[in-house]
Amino acid sequence: MKEDARSDVEHRHRDISPEIFKDHAHKAVDWIAEYLEDMSQYPVLARTRPGDLKARIPKSPPSSSEPLETIMDDFREIILPGITHWNHPRFFAYFSITSSYPGIIGEMLCSALNVNAMLWKTSPSATELEEVVTDWLRQMLGLPEQFNGVINDSASVSSLCALAAAREHTGLNIRENGLFGGNLPRLRIYTSEEAHSSIEKAAIVLGIGQRGVKKIPTDEAFRMNVKALAQSVEEDIQRGIKPICIIPTIGTTSTTSIDPVKEISDVCERYGIWLHVDAAYGGSAATIEEMRPMFTGWETADSIVVNPHKWLFTPIDCSILYCRRSEVLKQAFSLTPEYLRTTEADKVTNLMDYGVSLGRRFRALKLWMVIRALGAEGIANTIREHISYAKRLEKVIQGTPNFELLAPVPFSTIVFRFSPKPATGNIAELNTLNEKLMESVNQTGQVFLSHTKLRGKFGIRLTIGNIKTTWEDVALAWDIIQQKAKELSDLGK
């Protein structure tokens, strides 16, 4: 019996009743489908100002229950205006990530089950499905069967775990002694100057420190210079510094450049250094047979990170750490208090042993649903189309006066700038002009672009990764960019 006419809570259930849940859940599903099918009423980038939402939400929680109808009204009126629509087909900023219907269903079921897959026993299906589905993806990526996958929330955590394993692999027993025991050498990690900041953050957390990360220079295509890498490693060894890991990237964040993994792998082999490949974004493209040559050498890695939540149509969060030496990863993290001891521990995988967190969401469920419902071929075809749109836009930009590409386009990200003639010759002016251009394009609400800086040059990034993006979306973005560039030029005359 409901005791408060304004409440949906049935005291018998201590929760809303199943009938009311069904009613509102069905309405929410209807809303989701309409939202995903037509986002034209929403600006891609939120138009709110700092504090707008906070000003409209009570500072204290409600003491009594409120009806779901009211909560949903507030979701539409107060929350949605402050949302930047990452699922919008013209979200071209950062790395354009997207969910998909099967992934959304997976998330719904995941929260209904609400299991914690810390131990095999605490949900055998969650553990075994994670083992199976990461192995499915391994096969889709063409990686050897020695790689075992575990799912983390982010690439930052996956790389942190990989670096902890690399540190463990040195045999310096830092896990037990910390960084204060005995006469430890200084530790060094090598990555390129284009690597993602998550590598440096992992070094901070692991006590290696920012100065323990050597950022190797890159060539004209933003790829790690292997000669400079080998020289750095050699010099460090001479000085008594211990190299623990080299991290090439396949698909760097700024330009999606691809480090020469094969040559880097040779350096790792020569000096016995752990090879961790950051393929958080680019990795998904290995589902396409003809893209595989770009991944040459990654099969020799000790660990690799690939994020299905970036370019594999799986709702955030889902990052996979593939490790060829799972026993080292386990050695780095396994710690079992009495209350988590189980009798079958030697026969099964307890996922808590392979990372930082004890509690783990059942993330494998959504990935399983995405791979089954879209199919390996369907996924590869969509990624292939994204790449073909990027190549097409690359050609268009090459043929457009007053625009220039700032980097090669190996995947689906294009970095370019507006450089009207006659050239000002002043890089700061050109940077300001391009920043203004990007902001005026984003203000239209029709598209959302982001930027990078390459050797001092402000570059506008357009990245294609949404499951619903069509060539028409890309073409519209390009029209808007040109129109805004013309307006800015006219203003400057």
Distance, in Å, from the CA atom of 451 to the CA atom of 89, rounded to the nearest integer, reads 18
Residue 245 interacting with ligand PLP (CB under 6 A): no
Stretch that binds ligand PLP, among 151-159, 358-366, 435-443, 469-477 (CB under 6 A): 151-159
Give strand ranges (E) for 402-477.
403-405, 413-418, 450-454, 457-463
Q: Based on CB atoms, which residue is closest to ligand PLP, 137 or 480?
A: 137
Judge whether 489 and 434 are in contact, CB under 8 Å.
no
Q: According to CB under 6 A, which one of 167, 188, 196, 417 is a site residue for ligand PLP?
A: 196
| Contacting residues for 174 by C-beta, under 8 A, at least 6 apart | 167, 168, 181, 184, 207
Token output for 415? 């970095």
Residue 259 interacting with ligand PLP (CB under 6 A): no
Kindly state the smallest distance separating residue 146's Cβ from ligand PLP, in Å: 23
Residue 415 interacting with ligand PLP (CB under 6 A): no
Residue 284 interacting with ligand PLP (CB under 6 A): no
Stretch that binds ligand PLP, among 34-42, 239-247, 249-257, 470-478 (CB under 6 A): 249-257
Total residue length of the chain: 493
Classify 314 as helix, strand or coil. Answer: coil
Comparing C-alpha atoms, which of 428, 442, 422 is closest to residue 484? 442
Q: Based on CB atoms, which residue is closest to ligand PLP, 319 or 350?
A: 319
Residue 413 interacting with ligand PLP (CB under 6 A): no
Distance, in Å, from the CA atom of 454 to the CA atom of 460, rounded to the nearest integer, reads 10
Q: Based on CB atoms, which residue is closest to ligand PLP, 307 or 469?
A: 307
Q: According to CB under 6 A, which one of 140, 166, 233, 280 is a site residue for ligand PLP?
A: 280
Q: According to CB under 6 A, which one of 141, 155, 162, 261 is a site residue for ligand PLP?
A: 155
Distance, in Å, from the CA atom of 236 to the CA atom of 186, rounded to the nearest integer, reads 9
Residue 278 interacting with ligand PLP (CB under 6 A): yes
Residue 156 interacting with ligand PLP (CB under 6 A): yes
Q: Based on CB atoms, which residue is closest to ligand PLP, 234 or 317?
A: 317
**Alpha helices (H) in 295-407, listed in sequence order:** 308-311, 326-333, 364-374, 376-398
x-or-dash string of contact with ligand PLP, 87-126, rule CB under 6 A: --------x-------------------------------
Distance, in Å, from the CA atom of 205 to the CA atom of 191, rounded to the nearest integer, reads 17
Q: What separation in angstroms does the CA of 144 have from each of 81, 124, 139, 257?
A: 46, 25, 8, 24
Stretch that binds ligand PLP, among 40-48, 227-235, 248-256, 444-452 (CB under 6 A): 248-256
Distance, in Å, from the CA atom of 491 to the CA atom of 297, rounded to the nearest integer, reads 50
Residue 407 interacting with ligand PLP (CB under 6 A): no
Kindly state the smallest distance separating residue 254's Cβ from ligand PLP, in Å: 9
Stretch that binds ligand PLP, among 153-161, 320-328, 392-400, 423-431 (CB under 6 A): 153-161
Distance, in Å, from the CA atom of 317 to the CA atom of 383, rounded to the nearest integer, reads 19
Q: What separation in angstroms does the CA of 469 have from each of 77, 104, 365?
A: 27, 18, 25
Count interface residues toward ligand PLP (CB under 6 A).
Answer: 15
| Residues at the contact surface with ligand PLP, assessed by CB under 6 A | 95, 154-156, 196, 198, 249, 251-253, 278, 280-281, 307, 319
